[in-house]
Amino acid sequence: MTETSDNTTNRRERWYRAVAATAGVAGAVALAVSALLVLFVLRGYGDHPLDSPRWAALKAELARTPRDDPAARAALVKRLRTLDAELRTAYFARRRRLAIGAYVVCAAAGAALAAGAIALRLRRRPARVAGAAPNRERAERAARRGRLAVAACGVGLAAVGVAGVAAIPAPRTLSPPSRPPVRPVEVATVEQTPWARFRGPGGRGVVVHRNVPTDWNAPAGENILWRSDAIPLPGKSSPIVWAKRVFLTGGTSEQREVYCLDADTGQRLWTRTVPAGGRSPEFDESMGTGWAASTPVTDGRYVCAIFPTGDLVCFDFDGQRRWHRNLGTPDSAYGFATSLVMHDGRLIVQYDQYDDAFDADKPGTWRSRLLLLDPASGETLASVPRPVTDSWTTPVVAELAGREQLITVGNPLVIAHDPADGRILWQADAGGPDVAPSPVVLGDRVIVAVPNAYVFALRGAVELSDGRQRVIWQANEVTPTICSPVSDGRRVFALSSWGTLACYDAATGEAQWLRDFGGQQFNASPSLVGETLHLTDTQGVTYVVSTGPFDFDDTAAVDANDGEPVVGGIVQDPTTGKRIAAPVRTCPLGEAVYGSPAFQDGRIYIRGRTHVYCIADAEHTQETP
Amino acid sequence: MRRRRWMLLVLPVAAGVVIASAATHLVAEQRFSVPELSEDYVPPDVPSPAPRSRTMQYVDVAVLAAFLVVASAAALRFRSRGGLVVLTLLALGYFGFYRRGCVCPIGAIQRVCPVFDVRALVTPDAAAAEAHGLSAERIAEAWRARAGDFAAAETSGRGRDFVLSLWVGPDSKRTLGRIGRERIAPPGDAPPVPLGELVRTEMRPVLRFAHGVPWVIVAFFALPLVATLLFGRTFCAAVCPLGAIQEAVALKPVQLPAWLGHGLGLFAYVYLAAAVLLATTGGGFLICRQDPFVGIFRLSGPVIMLLIGAGVLVLGVFLARPYCRFLCPYGAILRPLSRLSWRHATITPDACIRCRLCESACPYGAIRAPNTGGRPAPRRRGKLTLAALLLVVPVLTAAGAWGGAWLAGRVARMHPTVARAEAVHRELAAHGAVRGDSDVTEAFAGSDVPVDMLLAHGRAVRRSFAWATPVASGFIALVVALKLVSLAVRRRREDYAPDRALCLSCGRCYASCPVDHARRLERKGARPPAELHATD
């Protein structure tokens, strides 16, 4: 019996030693591999591949390489791509090795644990009972100690918690806006009247300056003060000018940007990329207005711009982004192109968009909005649903019939809003599909052009209690499709996209004369400078023509062009059919133009397809340093 | 015999050679340079991990339920320590290494918290849309068009995948409600439908729990609670992967003095309060971020996380289940529920013979000794202590809440949004612009979030902390006070019994119980020693 027991004990002991040694070896391997893994990681084994100094150096080299050296850049990009693939492959190979190491550690640790457990079992001794038997007194003592321990831990926790949290610096107020207020850039004199929005002051397209150039030739360098460097991204929006700054926008489907140019030198002061907040809209690229058709707006403090992605952004004059919002991507057949307006400390967004289910009688289907925002913060002050679908017009704010009104043209309605709170004051069934020309306010009436339909003159009174119709007159000799009409107070000038200019009597709508520009394509809206009109076609040629009146019986005027046929040189009386020749000054820019020009004292700023031009008379050019 | 000896020598050497050869693979690979790449190298597709399929989600929940049933049966019905160990290893394999530690009921605490954030997520309800003959795309567009009504909006996806993330201000509910009442007209003559009926809105301040939490999370959170109410902490015994990995390493556990266990047990409540505080204020998932074992389950993770996990496991060799006993926030919830459980594992299947063997078998200090016999303590003193501690409960709770209110502003700085807002605010105040001097401000400057919105969000989060911090600190103080009270209550105990709150139903005590041993012998047909039936 004793011998058997001894044998059993010896056998257990031998097994114990073997299993314990297994546990030791497995544990040592686990420890060694763990140490190896930690060492690898500390040596940067798990670092991100693109943290590599080689990568950073190559990127820096690329940044230094000038953009006009495409061959060198392409070679660098190729090297970067190769290095990128190399670094990534190496990174994943290292990850794989680390994973193998982790498996080895797990296996070894598992083996060590299992062997350790078996070894302990082989040496298990009978359980012993220690200490005195429990009784009430001992239980009381244990409870007392427990209470003390809990109290001590509670006090300790409170002390550590309070000390730890109190060591955190006192919180900041986070009060808005603690930034220094943006001071407006002063505009002291009439000469410096800014061209702060699409079509200048009031959106009228009327130039207050009388000394703007009337003759230039950019390819020949005549009367060109400066030509900017190429603007990185294209855009059909127009430039705006405030004091010494010119602002414009550009965009592609990938990226949108806002630019600030020095108005005296054309030097690009800053370029800011607009954050992409919404999905890309879908529109017919060939028919569309592009990715930067809306003209920005400024009030001397803030410059705001909007894009067809619904991104609305605001910068100060130093290019510091004040805020950005995405208004939701608007559904617009040709891409959103309505320009922004600022009035009385409010940023106004006519956010019209299409809806399959649109029904003017069902407010639930109205997706279009008039938004009034605080330009300082981007906060929505008012959001008013509009019973219209997509349009491409820009609203105007004007004193009309005794009160300020915001006039918008949409499909199918012309709607007047209160610019203070956005509420609808009146609406008239005088809009239409594909409407792009912006309205013009004339005394107590509104002039609206609906493509392929009519030019309307509407009464602007909020209440028409005497039963009068809203429409005063309508004319259709020429109905603009893109260009906005312009008025000198007595007459309304309307230019069709295919180059026919009409002069309507503002009181009656009667066409006084027509003038044809030989099928030239026009996107820019006409501007009225004194008694002349500036009409810029898409080839970049500006036609400076007189607004008349023309005496169709004055034979002397027929010879004004010395008998040479000039594009747009013939004026016709539509009533009598009489034709006379009238002078036309033709000023080429040398590149395509889609936006309307901006006018300042003695200067015109025109955005070409790739450059911005500042046009100034030679006399003015010499004065300017 | 000689042959066996030879084998005994070979065993450790073979194990060492096999494991070490695998390890040398690591070093061997390290010697090779990175591969040279050809110019036509095509970068590999890097797919993002696909979400768990719906079927597998059902499987996971079914597996959890099955584990709970089997664990409860093994602990209460079959009293099988071996069965529980096998189940523990299976749970470690399935919930730990296969499911990589996620979803787990511990982390699910944070997901089922109502989150008080200032963001609303709007997604089309495809079923409701189809019922009205409208496309999800159309509804998505209708909501996108109204994005301008909010402080900011981020949109992603199209159609059914559309998510409109609206950053809303204090007026958020009203704005959402107003837009929800606006009607959208289906094609044909059907009457217009309110827009709100066609979307699922996750408005965090209000409906997070009802709409934002997948049912799997709710199931993982609730099933162990139900099991605990029925059978005690059998989930901890053999289902929880975090418990399982610690159970596996608890080779040589020592017993802590009971008083120390009571004190250290408070930390779990502090952890629970902190995790819920951060989760409800949208500050992140503390429990998941600080999970010591998830890196081990995934065989990957930050070095510090892996080292902490390894450290806890090494500690766990000598101090059984340190995380479960002193830190686990889910354990903190299970403790009081287990006290109320319908059935609970018992040490002995029959009358206790007071042999005291179970006391030394339990590494968790979860066995309560009888408190009869000996000189009785004065009753009056006990009553006075209890009365005093009962008075302390409201005072301590109020003091804790007051302290939380006092420190709420500072505590809020733990929240990433508040920290970011303060960093941006600091730069704005100093330079008048966000220059991107620090990583945080640089990242913010490159984002499309307006400064004012960030500051408004920061203030809103801080307001959440203003009431949530006193609640959290008051809760901790209440727990301390109740713990003191519970230690002052005298309950008469005649026999050794498990402390239902602390007992993990691991079954170690069964093996040490002579009565249990005798019953097993009886079942096998052997005659147990007669003295085992005697009691002292």
- pLDDT tens across A17-39, in order? 999 999 999 999 999 998 888 88
CB contact under 8 A, A362 and B369: no
Structure-model confidence comparison of residues A536 and B190, the more confident one: A536
Q: Residue A509 pLDDT > 70, yes or no? A: yes
Strand ranges in A228-279 using DSSP code E only, listed in sequence order = 240-242, 245-251, 256-262, 268-273
CB contact under 8 A, A85 and B412: no
Peptide bond into A232 cis (omega under 30): no
Report the gap between the CA of A425 and the closest CA in chain B (Å): 21
Gap between the Cα atoms of A86 and A78, Å rounded: 12
Is the model's pLDDT at A388 over the cut of 70? yes
CA distance B329 to B287: 8
Does the pLDDT at position A292 exceed 90? Answer: yes
DSSP percent split of chain A into helix, strand, coil, nearest 5: 25, 25, 45
Mean pLDDT score, A514-540? 91
Which chain A residues contact residue B451 at CB under 8 A?
177, 179, 322-323
Out of A284-293, A493-502, B261-270, pick the least confident. Answer: A284-293
**pLDDT, position B453:** 65
The pLDDT of residue B495: 87
pLDDT of residue A173 exceeding 90: no
Task: Give the integer Cα–Cα distance in Å for A241 and A263.
Answer: 8
% of residues, chain B, pLDDT over 90: 39
Asked if B26 and A133 come within 8 Å (Cβ–Cβ), the reply is: no
Residues from chain A that touch B413, judged by Cβ atoms under 8 A, are: 168, 171
Please tell me the distance in Å from A19's CA to the nearest CA on chain B.
7
Q: Give me the mean pLDDT over the A350-365 stretch.
A: 82
- Max Cα-Cα span within chain A: 148
**A168·B410 Cβ contact <8 A:** yes
Name the band, by pLDDT with cuts 50, 70 and 90, for residue A285.
low
Higher local confidence (pLDDT), A548 or B383: B383
Q: Give CA separation, B375 vs A133, A137, A361, B229, in Å.
A: 13, 6, 91, 37
Q: Which residues of A touch B43 (CB under 8 A)?
A: 84-85, 88
The model's pLDDT over A208-255, given as tens digits with 9 standing for 90+, comes to 888 889 899 999 988 999 999 999 999 999 999 998 899 999 998 888
| Per-residue confidence band for A622, with pLDDT thresholds at 50, 70 and 90 | very low
Residue-wise pLDDT tens digits, A123-140: 877 777 767 777 788 888
User: Starting from the edge strand earliest in sequence, which strands make up the sheet with A579-581, in order?
Assistant: A486-487, A491-495, A500-505, A511-516, A570-572, A579-581
Residues of B in contact with A149 (CB under 8 A): 259-260, 262-263
- Whether the pLDDT of residue A556 is over 60: the answer is no
**Overall average pLDDT of the A504-532 stretch:** 91
Q: Is it the case that residue B534 has pLDDT exceeding 60?
A: no
Residue B459 in contact with partner chain A when CB distance is under 8 A: yes
Asked if B450 lies within 8 A of A113 by C-beta distance, the reply is no
Average per-residue pLDDT in chain A?
86
Contact call for residues B381 and B522 (beta carbons, < 8 A): no
Query: Does residue A582 carry a pLDDT above 80?
Result: yes
* Overall average pLDDT of the B525-532 stretch: 65
Residue A124, class by beta-carbon neighbours within 10 Å (0-12 exposed, 13-18 middle, 19+ buried)?
A: exposed
User: According to the model, what pLDDT value does residue A560 have?
Assistant: 47
Q: Which chain A positions have a beta carbon within 8 Å of B182's beta carbon?
A: 363-364
Q: Which of A111, A178, A277 sits opposite B428 (nearest CB)?
A: A178
Among candidate residues A386, A492, A494, A503, the one with its CA nearest the CA of residue A445: A492
Can you tell me the distance from the alpha carbon of A606 to that of A590, in angstroms, rounded to the nearest whole number? Answer: 11
Interface contact flag, B373 A135, Cβ < 8 Å: yes
Q: Which of A19-33, A405-419, B20-34, B188-202 has the least mean pLDDT?
A: B20-34
Residue B33: which pLDDT band, with cuts at 50, 70 and 90?
very low
* Ordered alpha helix ranges (H), A380-525: none
From the CA atom positions of chain B, what is the Rg in Å?
A: 29
Q: Identify the bridge partners of residue A202 per DSSP, sorted by sequence position.
A: none
Mean pLDDT on A559-588: 77
Can you tell me the mean pLDDT for B143-162? 66
CB contact under 8 Å between B413 and A135, yes or no, is no
Distance CA B248, CA A594 (A): 76
- B310's enclosing H/E stretch is helix B303-318
Percentage of residues in chain A having pLDDT higher than 90: 42
Q: Specify the range with the lowest mean pLDDT, choosing from A46-60, A593-607, B357-371.
A: A46-60
- pLDDT above 90 (res B8): no
Q: How far is A569 from chain B (nearest CA, A)?
A: 48
CB B507 within 8 A of CB B75: yes
Most confident listed range (A72-86, A283-297, B260-274, B370-384): B260-274
Choose, out of A11, A13, A17, A25, the residue to mutate when testing the contact with B (most B CBs < 10 Å): A25
Q: Taking residues A510-539, what's their average pLDDT?
A: 91
Interface test with A, best of B6, B42, B425 (most A CBs within 10 A): B425
β pairing state of A511-516 and A570-572: antiparallel
- Residue A95, pLDDT above cutoff 60: yes
Examine the pLDDT at B30 and tell me if it is beyond 70: no
pLDDT band of A617, cuts 50, 70, 90: confident
Structure token pair of residue B514: 């002579």
Is the pLDDT at A469 greater than 90, yes or no? Answer: no
pLDDT of the residue at B535: 42
Q: How long is chain A? A: 625
Which of these ranges, A13-22, A43-52, A338-347, A418-427, has the smallest mean pLDDT?
A: A43-52
Which of A21, A111, A140 shows the shortest C-beta gap to B377? A140
**Beta-carbon count within 10 A of B263 CB:** 25
Structural domains of chain B, ranges and CATH numbers in brackets: 67-112+215-345 (no CATH), 119-208 (3.30.2090), 379-488 (no CATH)
pLDDT tens for each residue of B368-409: 888 887 776 677 888 899 999 999 999 999 999 999 999 999
Lowest-pLDDT choice from A152-166, B87-101, B195-209, B269-283? B195-209
Write down the pLDDT at residue A540: 93
Residue B278 clears pLDDT 70, i.e. is over it: yes
Residue of A82, A96, A304, A327 best to disrupt the B interface, most CBs of B under 10 A:
A327
Amino acid (one-letter) located at A433: P
Q: Is the pLDDT of residue B177 over 80?
A: no
* Whether pLDDT at B29 is above 80: no
Among A14, A17, A29, A314, which would you mutate to test the B interface (most chain B Cβ atoms within 10 Å of its Cβ)? A29
Nearest to B377 among A84, A136, A328 (CB): A136
Q: In terms of C-beta distances under 8 Å and separation of at least 24 residues, what long-range contacts does B3-10 make, across chains too?
A: B4/A14, B5/A14, B8/A14, B8/A15, B8/A17, B8/A18, B9/A18
Residue A601 has a pLDDT of: 86
Residue B159 pLDDT grade (very low, low, confident, very high; cuts 50, 70, 90): low
User: Quick check: B364 pLDDT over 70?
Assistant: yes
What backbone torsions phi and psi does residue B403 show, to the nearest 5 degrees?
-60, -40
Please report, for residues A506, B214, B283, B466, the alpha-carbon distance to residue B209 in angstroms, rounded to integers and kept in the order given: 65, 9, 17, 22
For residue range A59-71, what is the model confidence (pLDDT) as tens digits? 888 888 887 888 8
Average pLDDT over residues B34-49: 55
**Number of neighbours of residue B535 by Cβ within 10 angstroms:** 11
Identify the DSSP state of B534: -
Percentage of residues in chain A with pLDDT exceeding 70? 90
Predicted confidence (pLDDT) at residue B356 exceeds the cutoff of 60 = yes
A107: its two tokens: 């296996």
Token match 């030509």: residue?
A227
* Mean pLDDT of chain B, nearest integer: 82
